A and B are shown apart, each in its own frame.
Chain A
């Protein structure tokens, strides 16, 4: 059995560690400390927690003020509220004013499943991607989350990090292979050059599983982990497009404006590469567990394998 780890727990452990060395590190919460798995942080550094109450907009604005005056705030809230309710605060107070605020969107994508669309963040990548001066991450496993947090703890740049709720399988052997620097994608696995599957975060393991299934069918895929959606690793995408003319993207997001769009925008000027985007269609999301919903929309490994077989025909 592969190891699995909840990314929220990893972020908390890393934040405690960073806060041990840096009294300016703060966790800013909006009645979200439990959902964000931050209780160990609260126990370890009670005076480095700023609780704002159920006020996500204010949590981002206050964090920006804290950052302006030398603090290093990490704002934790459900991704849906952080990137929708608070989006103007993100645009103006964080990105435009260049405040050193790290926005940690928890329970992202469809994680909240049957709680419904109020709680889903399936547009967050589209909207944050269009804001200049905001890095975007979705750590895919324990090691990448560790590397990312160590980078964020010292980086001066505004950033949005989206994580999910369920435990994720460990895909990388260590931190250095999982995360090098912003804008540096990883080739997670490489069976050959029939097709490249590009993913990030929670969908990376699914992409990897599909590549294994394809390999058994004699179709050779590589799996590209973008690591950061912004900055985007144009060089690696070009290299992949030089080798294969079919690229498939997989994301827990609307088909519009997310990872697939980013890849398609980056490669369209070449004119030689086909990009197929797999994600959530433009319709109200069906109710179900995350697994049921992925299955319904053809986003599980077997469905991805089937689609790729069809597109290669």
Chain B
């Protein structure tokens, strides 16, 4: 897909997510908007995986470690045809499989996440299995920067470096915010680039809301014999002016006025990209 088409899709995914959260009155708004570009790129350009090949053992795999940003994932999966769009009307309703964190009851979702600090280790296991079976699929995982405080992340990072898992790409949604405020003041995890490099990763830093940079780095070959860590600088709440860089929007639901203003802003972007 060309870059402008991907940008348009990401904007549409933001809109669908904004609508879904407003409808259900629950969701991780800021967290979803932050990684909308990355998740859109993965499913529409980067990964060798389609709804038809989802059970193929050679498919690329994606584990969303920051499981709370599930609304954007649901919308990207529905758009890509993993399940009917209309299913998402049941999001967070009684007896719906579309709950507030990813579960593998849903077509397209590999593993159940939501407890932070599991995704990288799960991905190490999947990437190691590829090595053991001599398969050439790739494994992607997306973590938060606040999530980096979990010790399990670093246990997994050590294993990834130890096994030279060059088929593993870990992405950090580096929006510098978590629930209680700036990550730097809640529990400083910096310097992340140097830490991952020291754990044996090939570290690449990008603007994680720039589709061109996302696609370039995620499709680049990895000849380093190391797992890759992408430190993706993002803006939490990206695309909704009043939610951007606001910790309070982590899981806020818009009021009626905010909702309309958000719709207007997103539709302006979509209009510009549709030309």
Contacts and interface: CB of A to CB of B under 8 A. Distances in A.
Interface string A271-313: 0000000000000001111001000000000000000000000
A115 B179 contact: no
Contacts of B180: 29, 31-34, 51
A53 B146 contact: yes
Contact of A53 (B93, B94, B97, B149): B149
Nearest to B105: A284
A292 to B, nearest CB: 5
Interface string A113-147: 01111110000000000000000000000000000
Interface string A27-56: 001111111000000000000000111110
Contact of B151 (A34, A55, A119, A286): A55
B72 interface: no
Contacts of A53: 146, 149, 186-187, 189
B267 interface: no
A118 B67 contact: yes
Interface residues of A, number: 29
Contacts of A54: 116-117, 146-147, 149-150, 178, 187
B150 A35 contact: no
Interface string B169-213: 000000000111000001101000000000000000000000000
Contacts of A51: 180, 186-187
B257 to A, nearest CB: 24
Contacts of A81: 115
Nearest to A117: B112
A309 B187 CA distance: 54
A55 B187 contact: yes
Between A31, A32, A52, the greatest number of chain B beta carbons within 10 A of the residue's beta carbon is seen for: A31
Contact of A118 (B101, B150, B189): B101
Contacts of B93: 287-288
A58 interface: yes
A215 to B, nearest CB: 31
B167 interface: no
A57 interface: yes
A172 B266 CA distance: 52
A245 interface: no
B245 interface: no
Interface string A163-175: 0000000000000
Nearest to B179: A31
Nearest to B28: A115
A115 B114 contact: yes
A34 B179 contact: yes
B187 A116 contact: no
A115 B114 CA distance: 8
B100 interface: yes
A33 B114 CA distance: 19
A168 B26 CA distance: 22
A85 interface: yes
Interface string B119-153: 00000000000000000000000000011011100
B120 to A, nearest CB: 14
A116 B99 contact: yes
Nearest to A292: B94
Given A31-B180, A31-B186, A33-B180, A287 B116 contact: no
B223 interface: no
Given A81-B115, A114-B92, A55 B103 contact: no
Contacts of A31: 146, 149, 178-180, 186-187
Contacts of A286: 94-95
Contacts of B179: 31-32, 34-35
B95 A115 contact: no
A122 B149 CA distance: 25
Contact of B103 (A29, A32, A34, A116): A116
A114 B26 contact: yes
Interface string B81-105: 0000000000011111101110100
A267 B134 CA distance: 58
Contacts of B186: 31, 51, 53
A287 B95 contact: yes
Contacts of A112: 100
A157 to B, nearest CB: 28
5 contacts: A29-B180, A31-B146, A32-B180, A115-B114, A117-B112
Nearest 7 interchain pairs by C-beta: A53-B187, A53-B149, A118-B114, A288-B94, A115-B100, A118-B115, A55-B149
Interface of A: 29-35, 51-55, 57-58, 80-81, 85, 112, 114-119, 286-289, 292
Given A55-B151, A286-B94, 6 more contacts: A31-B146, A31-B179, A31-B187, A112-B100, A116-B100, A287-B95
